């Protein structure tokens, strides 16, 4: 399995972690450590997937191999924007 395929699999895991973060129990009055763990897992998986995808794209040198780092960066941007919007909403709420 090459780095590009690993990066795409990590992107799937990061996307799953992001979905679980969005449905985490802190937003419905549950435990806050789960939310923090899922947020950190999403960010870490996205960074690692981006790094692997970038390494694979440099090795393969095809346009198709750049899809893996692009997806991981998109996931990273989405989770940062989602978390930022949550923080803004919490500030306005208080």
- The reported pLDDT for the residue numbered 27 is 60
- Cβ atoms 60, 4 nearer than 8 A: yes
- Cβ atoms 34, 26 nearer than 8 A: yes
Residue 29 pLDDT class (50, 70, 90 cuts): low
- The reported pLDDT for the residue numbered 30 is 61
For the chain, give every domain's residue range: 3-93
> Which pTM does this prediction carry?
0.83
């Amino acid at each position: 399995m090459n780095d590009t395929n690993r990066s795409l699999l990590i992107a799937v895991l990061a996307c799953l972690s992001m979905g679980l973060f969005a449905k985490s129990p802190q937003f419905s009055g549950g435990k806050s450590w789960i939310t923090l763990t899922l947020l950190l897992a999403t960010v870490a998986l996205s960074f690692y997937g981006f790094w692997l995808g970038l390494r694979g794209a440099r090795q393969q040198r095809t346009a198709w191999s750049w899809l893996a780092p692009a997806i991981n960066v998109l996931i990273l941007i989405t989770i940062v924007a989602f978390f930022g919007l949550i923080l803004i909403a919490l500030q306005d709420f208080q």
